[in-house]
Structure 1
Amino acid sequence: MDQDQIKALFDQQAEGYDTQWVKTAPIRECLHFLLDSLFTDLPDDARILCVGAGTGAEIAHLASRHPGWHFVAVEPSGAMLEECRHKAERGGFADRCTFHEGYVESLPADQRHHAATCFLVSQFILDEAERIRFFAEIARRLQPGGLLASSDLASDVASPEYAVLLRAWMSMMSTAAVSPEMLERMRHAYANDVGVLPPEKIAALIAAGGFSLPVRFFQAGLIHAWCSRRD
């Protein structure tokens, strides 16, 4: 799928997105729990860039714990960004958010952020050179030494381990509000439209984009997450 197709897909899913994935919340909550410890040394007035913010789950989590932090939500799907805005308004932190409909490269690079999140986003970029440029665009918008917490689906798809993980992953997905038809589309997408790469390869792409020592701090099924620091 190209960018327009991906955007259209998330536009369609936006209204019921949080409800659809509520049963997989333990994965997200664990990731956010570990994110707290990674960002613990950020200043009280930190600026956080959230790339591919979706409906704003990580922003809501961080905003509830850090009343002085400000957030820039970058999201190409206007419908998803609107859900993010509504969540911020309901949570009482919309005045600490800037909502940018578009891609990270369309965000001005003159304001540098203390940290960034990028959860399950780069996996949709199939070309490795483009994926490196994506991370480089994030790095451009961070202060020197700024932190990046990123996650993607990752595995060696040619390995026997992947078959085991994929079977378990699809079983877990079936417990959510996901139809058999959608499960089959997801299985097809993982093989054709999502850049599922070995974890070591993704870490190398992050490093090539201008980050030092990507450290894997989380895994749940096929989701892996790294913390790295802008060079």
Structure 2
Amino acid sequence: MQNQQPPILFDQKAAASYDQQTDLLAGREALFSLMCLILSELPADARILCVGAGTGTEMIVLAQAFPQWQFTAVEPAPAMLDICRQKAEQSGIAPRCTFHEGYLDSLPASDLFDAATCLLVSQFLKQAEERSHFFGQIAQRLHPGGVLINADLVLGLSPPVYQSLIEVWLRMRGSGWSEEDIEKMRAGWNLHIATLTPSEVEAIITAGGFDTPVLFFQTLFIHAWFSKRTAPG
């Protein structure tokens, strides 16, 4: 059976508004600050793999914090990668970046990286085996001990917790949402995003070839972990 890839959900219109939408996410700057701290012990000339790089926001943050690092942005949606490339050029980091339109399976496995970021990507793989294979592909492209930073929407929560968080989420997104807008969002989540608990996500990451993930950040439904590629043998 062919392994499923995360779906391409971002056309030109969706890509153009992506940054504006994610600007609303509570705690994004805190997430990026912690990510920089976690990765700060990497070599001065570290190579970073950005999986599902989107518009390149976290790549630009890391590139500005660590001026000698090199980046490979992997993104299957052409419209998102175009914006990523434009933002990298505007930020002056493009000479340190490689842009790969496609998925991990078309990226040479011989290219090894010191760390990988994967933010709000694996949540779109709804089957556990597909998701662990996805993390396995990332692990194969990291040096032993290489660091993974992974963040996803985690929806497998008890009904009271889920309902309380969704109310805050909707307030954050804007009070102008109609009932139709809310139902479309719920339907989109049910259709495209896996409903897993935090411990289930951690087990899937581990099955992909990583040490036990450490939860270092949570805001509403977004959970973020760091982990290291398991040493061979």
TM-score, structure 2 length as denominator?
0.91
Following superposition, the deviation at residue 142 of structure 1 comes to 0.4
Structure 1 SS opposite 2:173: helix
Residues 59-117 of structure 1: per-residue CA shift (max 9 Å, x gap): 11001111100000000100000000000000001000000011112211101000000
Structure 1 partner of 2:119: 119
Following superposition, the deviation at residue 37 of structure 1 comes to 1.0
Q: Tell me how large the CA RMSD over aligned residues is.
A: 1.9
Following superposition, the deviation at residue 23 of structure 1 comes to 3.1
Unaligned runs of 5+ in 1: none
Structure 2 partner of 1:81: 81
Structure 1 SS opposite 2:14: helix
1:151 is the counterpart of 2:151: yes
CA contact (8 A) 1:174 1:183 kept: no
Distance 1:182 1:112, change over 3 A: farther
Structure 1 SS opposite 2:212: strand
Query: Hey, what's the Cα distance between the residues in 2 that align with 1:157 and 1:41?
Result: 34
Structure 2 partner of 1:218: 217
Following superposition, the deviation at residue 16 of structure 1 comes to 2.4
Paired residues in the alignment total 227
Describe how 1:37-48 pairs up with structure 2 within 5 A: 37-48=37-48
CA contact (8 A) 1:173 1:183 kept: no
CA contact (8 A) 1:113 1:146 kept: yes
Paired amino acid for 2:14? Q
Query: Hey, what's the Cα distance between the residues in 1 that align with 2:15 and 2:177?
Result: 15
Query: Hey, what's the Cα distance between the residues in 1 that align with 2:101 and 2:178?
Result: 29
Residues 30-49 of structure 1: per-residue CA shift (max 9 Å, x gap): 11010011001000100000
Describe how 1:1-231 pairs up with structure 2 within 5 A: 6-24=7-25, 26-174=26-174, 181-231=180-230
Distance 1:127 1:91, change over 3 A: same
Higher helix share: 1
Following superposition, the deviation at residue 12 of structure 1 comes to 3.0
CA contact (8 A) 2:119 2:151 kept: yes
Query: Hey, what's the Cα distance between the residues in 1 that align with 2:211 and 2:227?
Result: 6
Distance 1:31 1:128, change over 3 A: same
Paired amino acid for 2:13? Q
Paired amino acid for 1:133? H
Query: Hey, what's the Cα distance between the residues in 2 that align with 1:18 and 1:117?
Result: 18
Query: Hey, what's the Cα distance between the residues in 1 that align with 2:40 and 2:28?
Result: 18
Distance 1:3 1:39, change over 3 A: closer
Distance 1:36 1:158, change over 3 A: same
CA contact (8 A) 1:47 1:70 kept: yes
TM-score, structure 1 length as denominator?
0.91
Query: Hey, what's the Cα distance between the residues in 2 that align with 1:178 and 1:32?
Result: 28
**Alignment identity in percent?**
47
Unaligned runs of 5+ in 2: none
Residues 192-230 of structure 1: per-residue CA shift (max 9 Å, x gap): 320131101100000000000200000000000000000
Distance 1:136 1:192, change over 3 A: same
